[in-house]
Amino acid sequence: MSALISQLINLFASVILLLAFAMLSQRRIINLIHLYTWQGLAVVGSTTVVAYVTHQPHLYYSAALTLLLKVLLIPYFLHRLINRLNVRWDIETLFNIPTLMIIGIILVIFAFNVALPISRFSDTIAHGTLGIALACILLSFLMMITRAKAVPQVIGFLSMENALFLAATSATYGMPMVVELGIALDVLVGILISGVFMFQIREQFDSLDIRHLEKLKED
């Protein structure tokens, strides 16, 4: 039974990794938001399973918090944002997706190698997924680097936060509740601020293209 449950956790983690890759190569903003929502759902799933196995009530709370925040509230906010900004059907040109994928694979290999010696020391049921979490962090990072528009960058940031949450669950059964609440608050405020920013940026440049924001350079 416990073997099956740990496999279930692994499955959720793998789905999160897969979604991170999908986000890396997704051109449409609206699909990115859907992918982000699914990723949040997978995080909720894995947290709930871990909570069920370990009987840790605070993990149920944090799963509920994640559901509320990352599956309902933030996607709702993002949908409203892209409607208001009128970028719902925006398509971003991405440079060479296969190359991006290869870089992604290299990052995953790197992350797995870094995490392997560490996860041996963890005795949690989900310790294997630490490598996946680190890989997702790096992939979100790559996504943020390669995106030229504001909304995808922010989604990359949020996806990185998902990965960090997964890391916390897999390494230690979640952070203390106070810290988790603080992190959730920071994320919420951060996303609100980024929304404010996007309006300011568009008002100033008539576009959400971050390439306009490359004037400040050392010359």
Partner 1 sequence: MSISGFFSQLLAIVMALVLAPLLMGWVNQWRAWLQNKSGPGVLQPYRMLHKLFHKESVLAEDASSLFRMAPYMVFGCMVLACAIIPTLSTDLPLSPAADAIALVGLFAVARVFISLAAMDIGTAFGSMGARREMLIGFLAEPALLSVFFTTSLISHSTALTSMVEYLAHKEFAIYPSLAFAGLAFSMVSFAENARVPVDNPATHLELTMIHEALILEYSGRHLALIEWAAALKLFAYSCIGLALFFPWGIAEAEAPLALILAIPALVFKLAIGGFLLALIETLSAKMRIFRVPEFLATAFLLAVIGMLVHFLLGA
Partner 2 sequence: MNPLYFVFGIPLLGGLVLALVGHRNYARDINVAFSAASFLAACVLTAQVIADGPLFALGKQFFIDPLNVFLVTLTAFVGMTTAIFSRPYMRVEQDHGKMTPGRMRLYHSMYQFFAFTMLVALTTNNMGTLWVTMEAATLTTVLLVSVYRTPASLEAAWKYFILCGVGIAQALFGTILLYMAADRVIPDGVDALLWTNLDAVKAHLNPTIISLAFVFLLLGYGTKVGLVPVHNWLPDAHAEGPTPISAVLSGLLLNVALYAVLRCKILTDGALHSHFAGDLMIGFGLLSVSAASLFLFRQKDVKRMFAYSSIEHMGLMTFAFGLGGPIANFAGLLHMTLHSLIKSAIFFSVGHATQKAGTQLMEDIRGLLKVSPTVGWGLMLGSLAILGMPPFGVFASEFLILTTAMRDLPWATPLLLLALGISFGAIFSRVQPMVFGETSVKPLAHPPALVPVFVHLGLGLMLGFYIPPYLNGWYQQAARLIGGQ
Q: Per rule CB under 8 A, is residue 118 in the interface with partner 2?
A: yes
Contacts of 85 (CB under 8 A, 6+ apart): 151, 198, 199, 202, 208
Rounded Cα–Cα distance for residues 85 and 202 (Å): 8
Tell me how far, at minimum, the Cβ of 2 lies from partner 2, in Å: 20
Measured from the CB atom, the residue of 25 and 172 that comes closer to partner 2 is 172
Q: At what angle do helices 150-172 and 177-205 cross, to 10 degrees?
A: 170
The identity of residue 200, as a single letter, is Q
Q: How many CA atoms lie within 13 A of 32 on its CB side?
A: 31
The count of chain residues that interact with partner 2, using the rule CB under 8 A, is 48
Question: What's the chain's length in residues?
Answer: 219
**Binding range to partner 2, per CB under 8 A, among 11-19, 39-47, 89-97, 203-211:** 203-211
Contact yes or no for 32/23 (Cβ under 8 A) = yes
Rounded Cα–Cα distance for residues 145 and 133 (Å): 19
Q: Per rule CB under 8 A, is residue 189 in the interface with partner 2?
A: yes
Measured from the CB atom, the residue of 128 and 156 that comes closer to partner 1 is 128
> Where on the chain is the footprint of partner 1 (CB under 8 A)?
3-4, 7-8, 10-11, 13-15, 17-18, 21, 25, 97-98, 101-102, 104-105, 108-109, 112, 115-116, 128-129, 131-132
Tell me how far, at minimum, the Cβ of 97 lies from partner 1, in Å: 5
Q: Per rule CB under 8 A, is residue 114 in the interface with partner 2?
A: yes
Rounded Cα–Cα distance for residues 219 and 214 (Å): 12
Looking at residue 215, what DSSP letter applies? -
Q: Per rule CB under 8 A, is residue 107 in the interface with partner 2?
A: no
The identity of residue 133, as a single letter, is A
75 binds, among partner 1, partner 2, none (CB under 5 to 8 A by kind): none
- By the criterion CB under 8 A, which residues form the site for partner 2? 114, 117-118, 121-123, 134, 137, 141, 144, 150, 153, 157, 160-161, 164, 167-168, 171-173, 175-176, 178-179, 182-183, 185-186, 189-190, 193-194, 196-197, 200-201, 203-205, 210, 212-216, 218-219
